[in-house]
Amino acid sequence: MNKILVILILVLVFLIYKSGTHETQPNLNISISSIEIPSNWLTASTYPVTLATLPSGRQIQLYKFGEGSITLLIVGNIHGGYESNAYLITENILSAFSNGEIIIPENVSIYVIPTMNPDGLSNGQSLAGRFNGQGVDLNRNWDYEWKSSVIFHGESVKAGSAPFSEIETQTVGALALQLKPTVTVFFHCCWGMGTTFANDLANDAGTALANGSGYQLLTGLSGENGEARDWFQIQGLPAIEHEFPAWTESLDTDWANNLPGLIALLDWISQ
């Protein structure tokens, strides 16, 4: 009897030990549809509004131009660092809307997020700036074929602890689900040549932007784990990645080509 009692105690101690040392698994089912949306995101009387404040204190902000029912969402750099000109072009865009260089059709509203990754942007023109303040590649953190670790330039990089584990992707994803933009454009750079990548739902919009900019058009899913454009596709949202030519120290925004490209996109979207 004593032997049986001892065995039971040893089994109990072992189970308690295993329970205490078991690694907690991440929540792989974060629902951005449950994120509370501030009422002023889309209804503010004045812009910009702050969408999120990061642990660093840096902010993700939203601007709006126009009052039409057709909506265009423009997202500046999802990556910072060497892609900083993907942020700088939003300065060109904001100025062009403000000074009338680009005329906004009456039936169109345009929402602009100048930077989705202000922490990465703060790292200067470095490869480290590709990632956010937690070292996560934000363009691998979306809930489509997500993996915790992905390969970039032959190296394993973090895609977060779960899909939408990062404040930045939660914020832009929640905004997209609320706004349901007619088209979303993410600005990138350094593909090596001017290239417009459009998901299947954005073929016509991508064609207008590419033809206006003189860029090459590629369509379909990206094939990358956790990529934004693919997540937008499964939400039924047309989305485009617009990639500038190769990076230069001048951080050129290729505005001479991108200005007519944006005008062509607005002409198409307003029809």
Q: What is the CATH number of the domain that holds 237?
A: 3.40.630.10
Model confidence at 17: pLDDT above 90 = no
pLDDT at 158: 95
Q: What is the mean pLDDT of residues 152-180?
A: 93
Average pLDDT of the chain to the nearest whole number: 87
The beta-carbon contacts of 17-24 under 8 Å, at least 24 apart in sequence, are none
- Assess if residue 228 is contained within a domain: yes
Round to whole Å and give the CA distance between 157 and 195.
24
Highest mean pLDDT among 6-10, 43-47, 150-154: 43-47
Rounded distance between C-alpha atoms, residue 250 and residue 85, angstroms:
9
Q: Per-residue pLDDT tens for 121-156? A: 998 888 888 999 999 999 999 999 999 989 887 788
- Name which residue leads in pLDDT, 45 or 183: 183
- Residue 44's pLDDT is 92
With respect to residue 7, please indicate whether it lies within any of the assigned structural domains. Answer: no
Q: Which domain holds residue 123?
A: 43-269
With a cut of 50, say whether residue 87 has pLDDT above it. yes
In the numeric block, the tokens 């485009």 are attached to 240
pLDDT at 207 over 50: yes
Supply the pLDDT for residue 124. Answer: 80
Kindly tell me if the per-residue pLDDT of 11 is higher than 50: no
Task: Look at residue 31 and tell me if it is in a domain.
Answer: no
Given a contact cutoff of 8 angstroms between Cβ atoms, the answer to whether 116 and 87 are in contact is no
pTM for this prediction: 0.87
Percent of the chain at pLDDT exceeding 90: 71
CA-derived radius of gyration, the chain: 22
pLDDT value of residue 149: 87
Please, which pLDDT band fits residue 170 given cuts at 50, 70 and 90?
very high
Which pLDDT belongs to residue 238? 98
- The whole-angstrom separation of Cα 45 and Cα 48 is 10
Residue 22 inside a domain? The answer is no
Answer yes or no: is 5 within a domain: no
Q: In this predicted structure, what is the pLDDT of residue 215?
A: 97
The number of distinct structural domains making up the chain is 1
The pLDDT of 59-79, averaged and rounded, is 96
The answer to whether position 12 is within a domain reads no
For the ranges 24-28, 51-55, 255-259, 265-269, the lowest mean pLDDT is seen at 24-28
Q: At what angle do helices 203-213 and 255-269 cross, to 10 degrees?
A: 140
Q: Quick check: 16 pLDDT over 90?
A: no
Task: Give residue 251's pLDDT band: very low, low, confident or very high (50, 70, 90).
Answer: confident
Q: For 153-174, what is the mean pLDDT?
A: 93
Q: Assess if residue 73 is contained within a domain.
A: yes
SS3 150: strand
Nearest to 179 by CA among 86, 113, 230: 113
Question: Is there a domain that residue 11 lies in?
Answer: no
Q: What is the largest CA-CA distance in the chain?
A: 91
Q: How confident is the model at residue 2 (pLDDT cuts 50, 70, 90)?
A: low
CB-based burial, 47-75: b 16+ in 10 Å, e otherwise:
ebbebbebeeebebbbbbbbebebbbbbb
